[in-house]
Amino acid sequence: MKSLHFVSSNRSKYMEIHSHLQQKYGVVVEFSNQRLIEIQSDSIKEIAVEKSKSAFALISKPVIVEDDGLFIDELGGFPGQYSSFVYKTIGNNGIIKLLKTSMNRFASFKATFVFCDGENSQTFEDEIKGKISNRITEGGWGYDPIFIPDGSDLTFGQLHLQNRKKDFSHRVKALDKFAKWYSGSQEYAPRRL
């Protein structure tokens, strides 16, 4: 199998991805710490596809990149594709404040992985529905301490502390689709760039 690099500046994402791919599929992925420029788009998929092309151009090796977002119903899908920026600026406290008087706390996490090797590109997407908690809990990173996935009473942060986040994770669901394809289960046909 060719070398594979996850290109991102987010080491926490890499640790989740590396651990899952290696343990479940025997796929080894290396971390390439690069800050990729993101295009302005309403589509996470479009952002991820462009990031994959940039990542391949930077290192000239097969890459996977990921873009994801937290979409809150009451806020019209905000922060969505701006999740990283919103987390850095107002954080979990800001999200909790925005929903302080809201009864509608429904939300979803969406993840998109894109593989690119300079000739082929393939996209893998999934999501998990849930809700925003009323308080910030311990554990995890990013929005993990405020997102409660459907089927659980615990936040991603609490699930992370119990090593159970992967049982619900949007990232793992999308990553499983990628890994099955990459490992040779040609369930997904790659397309030319």
CA distances, 186 to each of 48, 170, 189 (Å) = 22, 22, 6
Phi and psi at 73, nearest 5°, equal -55, -50
Residue 167 is classified by DSSP as G
Sign of the four-CA dihedral 126, 130, 136, 137? negative
Q: Active-site residue among 42, 67, 126, 153?
A: 67
Consecutive H or E run containing 25: none
Q: Judge whether 153 counts as a catalytic residue.
A: no
Tokens of 4: 């594979």
Known catalytic residues are 67
